[in-house]
Amino acid sequence: MDLWDIDNFKHLLEQYIPFHKLIGIKLVEVRKGYASILIPYKPELVGDPRVKRIHGGVISTAMDAAGGAAGMTTLSKPEDQIATIDIRVDYLHPGKPEDIICEGQIVRDGSAVIFTKMTAHHRESNELIAEARAIYRVKRF
């Protein structure tokens, strides 16, 4: 992550990607092979207004963002690229109307693909909401 200082990384993740900005992604922590992000609760993220549960798409998006951010720590040039090939999400508990923390960690960093594992949990109670695994295609120039 030598090319990325923390301010640039934070700006890229939170402001540069329009969808991340829309749902309010905030970088909590980043280090080589690992990233943690926060999804602050807001009513617009609810999928079922009868029970105020967070939409599953928001949760999977956040976990993809955390896994992708972990993968981004392996990039060293501005022209390097990363894209999701596949993601598998297992929902374990409903997302309550609370802040959510998603963590992504690299399991294997290859020359063309990166394998990651991610988790999503409630910030206050630490209750596990979902687990995921993803594969990202990388191009390093």
| Beta pairing, strands 100-109 & 34-39 | antiparallel
Query: How far is it, in rounded angstroms, from Cα 87 to Cα 78?
Result: 25
pTM: 0.94
**Domains of the chain by start residue, with CATH:** 6-139 (3.10.129.10)
Cβ contact 119:128 at 8 Å? yes
pLDDT band, very low/low/confident/very high, at 6 (cuts 50, 70, 90): confident
The fraction of the chain above a pLDDT of 70, given in percent, is 97
Between residues 8 and 108, the one the model is more confident about: 108
Closest to 121 in 3D by CA, of 70, 67, 59? 59
Please enumerate in sequence order all residues whose Cβ is within 8 A of that of 40, keeping only pairs 6 or more positions apart, or say none: 24, 26, 99
pLDDT band, very low/low/confident/very high, at 3 (cuts 50, 70, 90): low
131 DSSP β-pair partners: 90, 119
117 DSSP β-pair partners: 105, 133
- Give me the pLDDT at residue 1, please: 46
- Give me the pLDDT at residue 126, please: 95
- Give me the pLDDT at residue 4, please: 64
Cβ contact 39:45 at 8 Å? yes
